Structure 1
């Protein structure tokens, strides 16, 4: 039941998330392959990956998600480029956090037997 609800909720993600997320996972995989799974990325690593992902998706953004002028009206402070870069950074950080949480061993329940 919970899996079905989770899948239904995932279908509600905005299209830009679905478009960008494969690039995010690819760059996280590459970072883990190069540096191992235990190395926490530095801010410079995140900025570098953000630039690389943005450069890959930049050309398709206007065609798939509207023009820059239209987006600027909704995001006046940052403009489209800044908002998309921020989104990419957030997704990268969330993916690294999710992966680290997944690998962490769960604590064993404490029992009083034998004491």
Structure 2
């Protein structure tokens, strides 16, 4: 099923708006309102994506996970390809599909990159 108008997405828009007001200190994220619905819902999907190269990039994911009231058991970890890891969880809140996903370079890849940058700057 697909939403045909923005009117059909208002529930999802309101959900994001309310979440931002309830948790104003959440880290900034890419938030997508997908017009495509899943099999179990009648409204649109909200996809919250986090991308970071900080030393603790999954900390932003944890803040969002807690705000959504999801347990660590709801989270899946995957290595998409060498050099890219993800955490993902999904839920349905008030008939809205909510997907939370975080991407990061493996910690050793970030460290190696910073060491390379420092070496290049010193040369």
> Normalising by the residue count of structure 1, what TM-score does the alignment of the two structures yield?
0.28
Instruction: Work out which structure has the larger RCO, using CA pairs closer than 8 Å and 6 or more positions apart in sequence.
Output: 1
Identify, as 1 or 2, the structure richer in strand. 2
Q: TM-score, normalised by structure 2?
A: 0.27
